[in-house]
Amino acid sequence: MQKHTSVVAIYPGSFDPITTGHLDVIERGSRLFDRLIVSILHNESKSPLFSVEDRIEMLREAVSPFSNVEVDCFHGLLADYALTKKARVILRGIRAISDYENELQMALMNRRLQPGLETVFLLAGEAFSFISSRLVKEVISLGGNIAGLVPPLVEQRLRVRLHRPEKQT
Q: Is the dihedral of CA 121, 94, 148, 17 positive or negative?
A: positive
Residue 86 backbone class (left: φ over 0; alpha: ψ -120 to 50; beta: rest): left
- In DSSP terms, 38 is beta-bridged to 11, 71
Examine the residue annotation and report whether 22 is marked as an active-site residue of this protein.
yes
Cα(130)–Cα(149) distance, rounded to whole angstroms? 10
Catalytic one of 35, 85, 88, 95 = 95
Catalytic one of 46, 75, 86, 112 = 46
Q: 81, 39 in Cβ contact below 8 A? A: yes
Examine the residue annotation and report whether 46 is marked as an active-site residue of this protein.
yes
Catalytic one of 14, 22, 55, 137 = 22
Examine the residue annotation and report whether 133 is marked as an active-site residue of this protein.
yes
Catalytic one of 14, 30, 39, 133 = 133
Please report the beta strands in the chain, taking only residues with DSSP state E, as ranges in sequence order: 8-13, 35-41, 69-74, 89-94, 118-123
**Nearest 5°: CA angle at 39, between 140 and 142?**
5
Cα(124)–Cα(85) distance, rounded to whole angstroms? 26
Write out the catalytic residue numbers.
22, 46, 95, 133
